[in-house]
């Protein structure tokens, strides 16, 4: 989008999306029915994906939409199936958590004052290795999409770490939820107890 009109439209879209995000966040905090919370969290992820598209981060938006709004909503519903769907009222007063979150929010907002303005080309992060990747990606790897060449080649170690994280998450869930096998010792008795609950 070019020109002043484009900037007005972009500001308007950002304002609408961020307002909706705030509304959904407050609704999540006030909602006691966990089924509602899961659906609202899905809506939150979808709004977040839209914000990321406005920020031109299409790869992240795609991930947010598919993981946040799609698959993880199903996982949360699956988890709800195993537990109660109504959140219990907390025994403690909300004053201390409120003060802690207000303090953290104030520190974060104070921190943004020190950041360079959004999109400035001469910010520190754009002057380190990014220009080299942008200039050499096609020459080095024949891959025109710099995001792909950075993730898979220049930063191959990081992506290997991320893949291992996903692997570890799957292993963790499988160990926790698939632990009870009928072939194991005493598994039958435990199985029976589980059925009663």
Partner 1 sequence: MRLDAILRVVVKLMLPFMLLFALYVQFHGELGPGGGFQAGVIAAGMVILYALIFGVREAKRLVPQKLVERLVPLGVLIYLGTGLVAMLLGGNYLDYSTLAHDSRHGQEYGIMAVELGVLITVSSSMLAIFYAFVERGR
List interacting residues with partner 1 (CB under 8 A).
58-59, 62-63, 66-67, 70-71, 74-75, 78-79, 81-82, 139-145, 147-149, 151-153, 156-157, 159-160, 162-164, 166-167, 169-171, 173-174, 176-178
- Alpha helices, H only, 82-155: 95-113, 130-141, 146-149
Q: How far apart are CA 70 and CA 89, in angstroms?
A: 29
Reported as half-sphere exposure (CB side, CA atoms, 13 A), residue 101 has a value of 5
Tokens of 186: 């005493």
Between 11 and 163, CB nearer to partner 1: 163
For residue 14, the minimal CB distance to partner 1 (Å) is 20
Tokens of 19: 């307002």
For residue 132, the minimal CB distance to partner 1 (Å) is 15
DSSP 179: -
User: Which positions ≥6 away from 140 have C-beta within 8 Å?
Assistant: 149, 153
For residue 71, the minimal CB distance to partner 1 (Å) is 5
For residue 124, the minimal CB distance to partner 1 (Å) is 26
For residue 166, the minimal CB distance to partner 1 (Å) is 5
Between 29 and 169, CB nearer to partner 1: 169
Between 91 and 178, CB nearer to partner 1: 178
DSSP 66: I
Between 10 and 59, CB nearer to partner 1: 59
Between 62 and 130, CB nearer to partner 1: 62
Q: How far apart are CA 134 and CA 154, in angstroms?
A: 11
Q: How far apart are CA 72 and CA 86, in angstroms?
A: 19
Q: How far apart are CA 64 and CA 45, in angstroms?
A: 6
For residue 68, the minimal CB distance to partner 1 (Å) is 10
Give the number of other CB atoms < 10 A from CB of residue 130.
13
Between 54 and 169, CB nearer to partner 1: 169
């Amino acid at each position: 989008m070019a020109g002043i009109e484009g900037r007005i439209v972009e500001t308007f879209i950002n304002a609408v999306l961020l307002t909706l995000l705030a509304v959904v966040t407050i609704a999540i905090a006030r909602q006691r029915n966990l089924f509602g919370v899961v659906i609202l969290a899905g809506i939150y992820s979808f709004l977040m994906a839209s914000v990321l598209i406005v920020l031109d981060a299409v790869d992240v938006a795609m991930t947010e939409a598919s993981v946040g709004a799609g698959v993880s909503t199903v996982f949360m519903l699956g988890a709800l199936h195993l537990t109660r769907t109504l959140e219990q009222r907390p025994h403690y007063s909300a004053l201390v958590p409120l003060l802690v979150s207000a303090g953290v929010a104030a520190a974060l907002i104070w921190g943004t004052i020190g950041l360079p303005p959004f999109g400035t080309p001469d910010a520190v992060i754009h002057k380190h290795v990014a220009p080299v990747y942008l200039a050499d990606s096609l020459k080095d790897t024949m891959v025109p999409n710099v995001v792909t060449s950075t993730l898979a080649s220049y930063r191959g170690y990081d992506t290997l770490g991320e893949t291992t994280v996903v692997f570890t998450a799957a292993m963790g869930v499988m160990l926790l939820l698939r632990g009870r096998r009928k072939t194991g010792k005493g598994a039958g008795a435990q199985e029976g107890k589980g059925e009663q609950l």
